[in-house]
Structures are given as structure tokens and as C-alpha cells.
Structure 1
Amino acid sequence: MRFCAILFCLVVAALIGPGCARKEPAPAKVGLRKIALQTDWFPQAEHGGFYQALAKGFYREAGLDVTLLPGGPGAGINLKVAKGDADFGMNRSDDLILAASQGLPLLVVAAVLQHDSQVLLVHDASPVKSLDDLAGRTVTASVGMAWIPWLKQSRGIDFALRPQTYGLAGFMADPDAIQQGLVTNEPYVARQKGIAVRSLMIGASGFDAYHAIFCRRELARAEPDVVRAFVGASVQGWRDYLEGDPEPAHALILQANTQMTGGLLEFSRGELISRNLVHGDAARGEVIGQIELHRIARQIEILRELKILDRPLTAEAVATKEFLPATRR
């Protein structure tokens, strides 16, 4: 009996004693929220800020496990995001306005590019010196884009269209050719082939679309902290990519896209910087990531003038500044 009593006391002491001195349990490690960003093309410098955020751990620090999905022709970015196959997407703001007018539940939450990087590429010796000089000519372009009827209507000109092929062989063989491209890409490719070219910025026409980050409205409603974390880490990534050492992003891009070269990455990043495509115009108060609703409203107004909106919209029905870092609202 004495042994049993002693054993009982030892057991009680073992159970109670630690309880008196125990520390608060360490908080359980919360798992990272998985996020997929559907990009608009194959990995390139125009995605550099996202790859920088991935490479340097900015997304993980924000509690996110981010996958960057490559795009390309027919990627179906808007539908993938609308259906939940991707959480975020990249696309032009005018395309997202049209999608919203057609009932897709999408919301612009930040800008990747403050200004349109699209250009019309001409040979250096071409008599086409300005957008007005397109009158009566043939332009190779992505038929159906809103800037085409805007250019014709606003300039009072007409020109023929040839469908975009996403290659430069035809352009390089024809000294009179005019082809849509990106100022961050096609001029480099042409010059590498020994072709001297000039670029006419489409944004100079007065139709200057954002290149935007967007998500499903339901994600913004149900998980606003996730949207805010993704936008904040992406803005941090873009600043670091453009103002710091881009090599972490470039290493990931070269690994993900075997057709990419270091030379093109450097050229593209240089154009993003020199043309303030991401930073924007400081004199106008533009900064990385910023969205201005008055610019979205103007784009909606233009699309209504062109009679290509399915229904009228407000800027607030398309975009929000809610998830931008406080200094960018």
C-alpha cells in the first residue's frame, strides 16, 4: 500500500508539476497560401518583377507560395482567372474592361506597366514618321485590338490590316512593312539581324492602356489579405528588379524559357527603365503598381465611343486601388 501511495503521488506530481511551470505553446506554423499567376507570354523581362519576388523570397515572406504560369498565343488568361484555374492574371486594361462588360467577374488590382509598351515597327528608311503616316498603308497587327479603330477614328485615317504572325521574317524581308510589336522586344530582334528599325509608340495616339494585374472578384471579397499580400510583394519585386541586381530574376527566367537570351533580357529591362514603363512619370505622380481610376474611366469612354462595349461600366466596376500599398493609392 505504501508503494502504491508513493507511486500515486509521483504520477500526480508528474502531471501537475509541469503544468505549473509550462510556457505558452509556440504558435503553429501557418502553411503558405498557394497562388498561381497566369502571365501573358513566355517568361521574359516583362515578368521580371514577379520572378525577382519569387527568387528573393518576397512572396514567401508575405505568406505566399507563388507559381508563375507561362502564357503565349491562346493562353486564355481571362477565362483561366474567371474559372479559378489561376488566382491572378496579367493583361491589358482595355481587354479587361471588355471582359468585365461581357460579365466576367474580374477586378484590376494593380498595374504592371504604367504605359503601353506596344509599338508599330518600321524600317529606319521608311517614310512613315508618325502615326498619321499610316494612312493608306498595310499594318500587320493583332486584329480586334481596340487601339486599331481608335487610331483610325481619332486620326481620321484608314489602313489595311494583315493578321499578326508573332514572327519578324516577313517584316525583315519587306522594307515597306509595318508591324505591331513591343518596344521591349522586336527592335532588339531586328537589330540582331542587322535591320535598322524605328518604333512608333501606340500610346502616343491618346489610347494608353495599363498592363495590369487582376483577380477574381470573389478572391478580392473573400481573401482581401491574400490579394494585398500578393500586390505588395509584387511591387517590392518590381522595384528590386529595376533598381537593384536583376540576376536572381534573370536566372529563373533563363531556366524557365530556353529560347530566351541574356542579351534580350538586358535590352528589355533597359527599355522598361529608360521609358519609365513600370515606374511611370514621376512628374504626374505615377509610381510602381499604381492604378488611377480616372484613366480607367477615360478608356471606358473611348471604348463606348468606338461602340465596342457590351454595356456601360464605371471605373469602379473594373478596378480598385484598395489593395495597393498605402503610398500608391
Structure 2
Amino acid sequence: MKAALLLRALTAALLASVLVVLPAAAQEKQGEKQAEKPDKQEKLDKVSFGTNWVAEAEHGGFFQAVADGTYRKYGLDVTIVPGGPNDNNRMLLIAGKIDFFMAANTLMSFDAVANHVPLVSIAAIFQKDPQVLLTHPELKITRLEELKPLTLFVSKEGIAGYFQWLKSEYGFDEKNVRPYTFNPQPFITNAQSAMQGYVTSEPFAVEKAAGFKPGIILLADHGFNAYSTLIETRREVIDKKPDLVQRFVDASVIGWYNYLYGDNSAGNAMIKKLNPEMTDELLAYSVGKMKEYGIVDSGDSSRDGIGAMTDERVASFFNKMAKAGVVRSDIDYRTAYTLRFVNKGVGLDLRPRK
């Protein structure tokens, strides 16, 4: 159902056809002031933003910022280019055909460094990766270690990514793994199994198909501390148009606050128009799970605003992935991201008071 992780499989051969060597980024200035919101601007800057899958609630804040005029308030005319099973918007970003891209998780950022691709993550919209393993409710599983004896339905991309971390940190064994083909039926019929998914969608699909609510183990709550739904751009865009980058990040953050905590009907209407499979029920479920599990707004975002990132968090995840053999330990992972455009507290006034 989800194909975001497919985009992480960059290869040198594929990149060679589009990759252009760009100048190294200029040294970043710290403490840069937040871009001013232009209330009135005669000419809007045209911006294109590619998502990594078809329109859905997990992209809601971006659609909300288009639909409610937030991007326009920041002087931007934004076109969202939806992804899909036969699309690769990240390659369009590399080729200079679009301006920004929504990367699945931090592993993609590390992969760009390893392949000498001049892309930089500039904001992390999801503080938690929504990757989960689902279980049958009668097993009453609450700890990740309890999954080890079960048959595990894991995708090819999952085996190359998070499952290597499960082996390294928790001693999981690939002998129990069976291919996950984005069809929940094998899991539903095998009570002694677990299935991968996103907390925002697969539990809903299983409940509709099987009539039971599956148990949910969110990997992010057990140490898989990747950022997810990152905004990426090319180094040249940062160097030449830092004000535009700041405005796009700030407006996207505002869009996400409005989508989560305000009237999100305008954003949802855009999503449903682009993807009729997104029902009101599923959209509401996905938003509810994003809130319940703190996918977008938790941890550092409580203090620094949605989109927050820290050096310590990226270093921690890199060390785990290097230990698990998922990424090369000799790459300069620090070039994969920048804190220049985040951690400014943008939109915190829109957060509900507790």
C-alpha cells in the first residue's frame, strides 16, 4: 500500500543520467532570522513540490497550505506534484524539474550522501517514522522482543532497512520473514504472524477486512528514531534562494498546524479530488493516529515547532544504521541535512494549549 521506501533505492547507474555536479554549498549562517510573511505581494514565486505517493492524509499539511491560502500569504504559488507507483519525483528534483521533494525518512538522506547526490533535508515534518508491525489482538503483544518467534511479513525494502536494525538491536532472524506484498490477507489468516505497515493506514485496512483491531508496535517508540516526511531540495536552491526556501518551510509548517488542529476540510477536499480512494473515514482515522502517536507533533517539535531537527538525533540514528550495516560508516552524514530553516518556533501559537 505504501511505496515511499521504494524511492530510497538510488543507484549510481540511475543517477548518472540526470546527476549534474553542483558547487559545494556556501557555509551556512547560524541564527538566521525567520522570513517575514508578506501580507501583500504582487508577484508570487512559483514553486513545485513533489510528494512520494498518491494524495493522502499523511501529506495533509501541504495540501492544506495550498487550499487555505497559506502559501500565497508567504508569497508562493505552490503546485503539488503527487507521486505514485510509476512516478519518481525525487529524480525530478535531482534533475531540476521540481523545487522540493517529500522524502520518506532519514535513510534517504544518508543514501543521497553515499551516492554523491546534492540533496539536503531542510525540515522533518514527522518527528516519528510511522512504520509499525501489526499483531493479532489475542496475542496481547506489547514489547518488540515478543515478535521474534512470529512469522513476519516484511517488504523487500523493509528487509534492507528497518529489519537490519531489528537484527542488530533486538536479535531478530530473517528465517521467520516472509514477503510482504502490500496485501494483508496472509497476515489476517495467520494468527501467529506480524505484518509491517504505517500506523496511519494499515491498521484501518486490517480492521475493515478482518473485523478486528490489530495490535500496534510503533518502531519509533522502540528506538528506530528516524525522521520521516522530510522536505528535501537541491544545494543550489539553498545557495541561490534561501529566502524562498525559508518561506516554503515556514508556510508548510503553518499548513500542518492548521491541518492537525484547525479546520482541515479544504485540505481534505483537495486530497479526495486527487485520490477518490481517500474517504472521510480514512482521512479522519489517519489524522487521529498522527495525533495519538505524536507522529508530527511531539518531542522537539513541542519546543521548536513542527519540522524540528537536531544534530544529536541525526547522529544517533546514523550510528544505529551504520552498526546495522544499512549505511556506510565512512560517509559524512552531516552534509545530508541542515538546521538553517527549522527550530524557529514557527506556528507554535497555533498549537492547542493543554
Normalised by the length of structure 2, the TM-score is 0.79
Deviation string, structure 1 residues 57-83 (Cα, Å, up to 9, x no partner): 111121211121222335434323212
Q: 1:209 offset after TM fit, Å?
A: 0.9
Report if aligned partners of 1:38, 1:90 keep a CA contact under 8 Å in 2. Answer: yes
Residue 17 of structure 1: aligned partner? none
Number of residue equivalences: 301
Report if aligned partners of 2:305, 2:344 keep a CA contact under 8 Å in 1. Answer: no
Alignment of 1:9-28 (within 5 A): none
| Larger gyration radius, structure 1 or structure 2 | 1
Q: Secondary structure at the match of 2:139?
A: coil
Q: Does 1:40 align with 2:52?
A: yes
Q: Is the alpha carbon distance of 1:278 and 1:31 closer, same or farther for their aligned partners in structure 2, counting shifts above 3 Å?
A: same
Alignment of 1:48-127 (within 5 A): 48-73=60-85, 75-91=87-103, 92-126=105-139
* Cα distance in structure 2, aligned partners of 1:77 and 1:96: 15
Q: 1:135 aligns with which of 148, 156, 181?
A: 148
**Aligned-partner residue type, residue 196 of structure 2:** Q
Q: 1:256 aligns with which of 254, 270, 274?
A: 274
Residue 15 of structure 1: aligned partner? none
Q: Is the alpha carbon distance of 1:316 and 1:153 closer, same or farther for their aligned partners in structure 2, counting shifts above 3 Å?
A: closer
Q: 2:180 aligns with which of 161, 164, 172?
A: 164
Residue 261 of structure 2: aligned partner? 243
Residue 226 of structure 1: aligned partner? 244
Q: 1:274 aligns with which of 283, 292, 307?
A: 292
Q: 1:247 offset after TM fit, Å?
A: 0.7
Q: Is the alpha carbon distance of 1:325 and 1:65 closer, same or farther for their aligned partners in structure 2, counting shifts above 3 Å?
A: farther
Report if aligned partners of 2:125, 2:307 keep a CA contact under 8 Å in 1. Answer: yes
Deviation string, structure 1 residues 253-280 (Cα, Å, up to 9, x no partner): 1111011100000011111112221111
**Aligned-partner residue type, residue 173 of structure 2:** D
Q: Does 1:207 align with 2:219?
A: no
Q: Is the alpha carbon distance of 1:174 and 1:72 closer, same or farther for their aligned partners in structure 2, counting shifts above 3 Å?
A: farther
Residue 214 of structure 2: aligned partner? 197
Residue 299 of structure 1: aligned partner? 317
* Cα distance in structure 2, aligned partners of 1:291 and 1:127: 34
**Aligned-partner residue type, residue 34 of structure 1:** K
Report if aligned partners of 2:55, 2:275 keep a CA contact under 8 Å in 1. Answer: yes
Residue 150 of structure 1: aligned partner? 165
**Aligned-partner residue type, residue 49 of structure 1:** G
Q: 1:135 offset after TM fit, Å?
A: 2.2
Give the gaps of 5 or more residues in structure 2.
Answer: 1-40, 347-354
Q: 1:99 offset after TM fit, Å?
A: 2.1
Q: 1:101 offset after TM fit, Å?
A: 1.6
Give the gaps of 5 or more residues in structure 1.
Answer: 1-28
Aligned-residue Cα RMSD (Å) equals 2.2
Normalised by the length of structure 1, the TM-score is 0.84
